[in-house]
Structure 1
Amino acid sequence: MILHYKCPSCGSDMSFDAESGDLSCQSCGRHENIENYPEELVTTRFSADEASEYHCENCGAILITTAETAATSCSYCGAAVVIADRLSGQLAPAKVIPFTISKEEAMAAFQKWCRKGLLTPKDFMTADRIKSITGIYVPFWLFDLNSKVQVNAECTRVRTYTQGDYIYTETKYYDAFRDINLDYLKIPVDASVKMNDELMDKLEPYPYDLLKDFKTPYLAGYMAEKYNFTDEELFPRAKEKISGYIDSYISSTFSGYHSTRIKNKHIDTRNVKSNYVLLPVWMVSYDYKNLDYTFAMNGQTGKVVGKPPISTGKVTAWFSGIAVGTFFALKIVSFVMGGELW
């Protein structure tokens, strides 16, 4: 099923407006609250087999999508369309965080971020080689996890004291046992095969208090994908993401000891609940000296992640500055201690 959202005033296509949170008509400027948008104005067309080829209802062009595409725009007339078949049943997201940063704001924020690069080439910092900037709702699973942890450890407390002419060290040994119950809520794991996991992880955190019940109008005017991996397939990654926090918490329970040696540790992590959600991401493609660089921006907070090019000249100057500074510092220390300055 292909969905088009039509303006009640002029009949033009409407798309989601990040600034207002409404459906917006680019032709007449009308805004419609998503919660109250009349269903009779949604233009639909069913596809016979949920194929990747369909016809745009506006201009009739044949458009090709990948099997994962859930929302896109017509390359010919620009109409925003949502492929509802790929967002229903088991593929229906439970929640969505809408974009609050518009394309223009994302462009300005990325340019500002580029100018902060201390070791990036000067001509990269102008951010004038942006090839494309695309708003994508990326599929994520949010996991609520429970971990039951049991730890046996040998701990010591050391006391040093003086008696007469002797210094004594007293070491006491303790067998310690910890039985811990930990809950971790809304652990995000991206479920798209196309997205770089490292980039997606660095975009965190998202403001999960802004999660809304999923409605297809939020996707109008943006790209969106359905998940490639189920929550069962991504459960190991979710466990891996909290492993460091569990180890840190275990260590905190042994405070007060001078040393701790873990003899055995058993961690049983279970998936209490997992929700399929769509989270907003601006993907930026940047062309610099015939090489493509990809950056991602959190569509809710504006956080930018990615690896910009490094200026060899700036790195050399930076290390030279450190070397010169160290040299002068050592000379001054030598002079203060009675040596010669030069």
Structure 2
Amino acid sequence: MADTTVNYKCPNCGAPLTFIPGKDTVTCEYCNTEFEVATIESLYAKQEELAAKAQAALKEFYKGKLLLPDLFKKENRIKAIQPMYVPFWLFDSSVTASGIFKAENDMIVDTGDTIVTTTSVYQCEREGQMNFVKVPVDGSKKMDDTYMESIEPFDYSEMQPFSTAYLVGYLADKYDVESDAVVPRANERVNNTAVEYLNGTVNGFMRVSLMDSVINKDKRDLHYALAPVWIVTTQYNKQPYTFMMNGQTGKVVGSLPYDKKKALLYPTGAMLAAGLIGYQLIKLFLV
């Protein structure tokens, strides 16, 4: 009785990989990399699991997208999933933040003949100390920074010491953006969050706006990590669509098509169709 062969692709180079069940190892004829058969079988089982999770995540992502074509939901199919580890710089910061806010309340009195609005204006000062742990900044030029921030947060409780065992079946790049180059973005994220937190403590007013702020960083520590990101490519109407997916949480971001006929049914539809408003308003419906 002839042996039955099972065909896979090499996790290292993507070339056809053929082995005979019963053998413990197989060697790729193209890149000469040796793998344990159990590892390959486990990898392919994991890829099937990834495909199921990606399909479920995309289905959830499509919910509430009012302008999404109905056929896109029905006919859009996953063509490829590329799991990868993206390099991130993680910043720890201890900061002292202070802010001055303008707060306003309106009192409206209807006298019958006229409506009188009296606005009371207050100056509110806030100060506090805050600790920021592992604020991530993308360390890869290849990845879109906006997408990488949009699929946050990552679950740092699952962080593990680096091991090449985690890289089997994944693409993994070393950082090509130096840590010094991303410090401004890390500072911006810390500063914005600190001011937002202080702003949130100014309560009981109809309007609050920032007048001035000072952020002093008492210390900073730096870490380097690889985070799991899946690049999911689908196809609809012969056109590919690429999505970024958080490999831990399943959070998805990406651009979607919109149905022009549906757009006309909404108050802003005519403007959308005429192109009088652009990407940002469409984004409210699609992203």
Query: Normalization by structure 2: what TM-score?
Result: 0.65
Contact preservation (8 Å) 1:14, 1:26: no
Q: What letter is aligned with 1:249?
A: Y
Matches within 5 A, 1:181-196: 181-196=129-144
Q: What letter is aligned with 2:143?
A: M
The alpha carbon displacement at 1:179 in A equals: 4.0
Cα distance in 2 for partners of 1:268, 1:211 equals: 29
Secondary structure at 2:264 match in 1: helix
**Alpha-carbon deviations, 1:124-176, whole Å to 9, x = none?**
1125443321111111112112222234568799999xxxxxxxx9x7977x6
Cα distance in 1 for partners of 2:47, 2:161 equals: 16
Matches within 5 A, 1:167-316: 178-255=126-203, 264-269=212-217, 272-316=220-264
- Structure 1 residues 178 and 283, CA, compared in 2 at 3 Å: closer, same or farther? same
The answer to whether 1:59 aligns with 2:32 is no
- Structure 1 residues 239 and 27, CA, compared in 2 at 3 Å: closer, same or farther? farther
Count of residues in correspondence between the two structures: 236
Q: What letter is aligned with 1:58?
A: C
Contact preservation (8 Å) 2:57, 2:251: no
The alpha carbon displacement at 1:13 in A equals: 11
Structure 2 unaligned spans of 5+: 1-7, 12-18, 41-45, 109-117, 270-287
The alpha carbon displacement at 1:229 in A equals: 1.1
1:147 to 75, 92, 95: 95
Cα distance in 1 for partners of 2:212, 2:127 equals: 12
Q: What letter is aligned with 1:59?
A: E
Structure 1 unaligned spans of 5+: 1-11, 16-24, 31-40, 42-56, 63-72, 81-98, 161-168, 322-342
Structure index of larger Rg? 1
Residue aligning to 2:282: none
Contact preservation (8 Å) 1:150, 1:265: yes
- Structure 1 residues 288 and 232, CA, compared in 2 at 3 Å: closer, same or farther? same
Contact preservation (8 Å) 1:106, 1:282: no
Matches within 5 A, 1:27-176: 58-61=28-31, 102-110=49-57, 112-113=59-60, 116=63, 117-151=65-99
Contact preservation (8 Å) 1:114, 1:126: no
CA RMSD of aligned residues (A): 4.3
Percent identity between the two aligned chains: 32
**Alpha-carbon deviations, 1:76-101, whole Å to 9, x = none?**
xxx98xxxxxxxxxxxxxxxxxx999
Secondary structure at 1:180 match in 2: strand
The alpha carbon displacement at 1:306 in A equals: 1.1
The alpha carbon displacement at 1:315 in A equals: 2.0
Cα distance in 2 for partners of 1:254, 1:310 equals: 40
Q: What letter is aligned with 1:217?
A: A
Residue aligning to 2:277: none
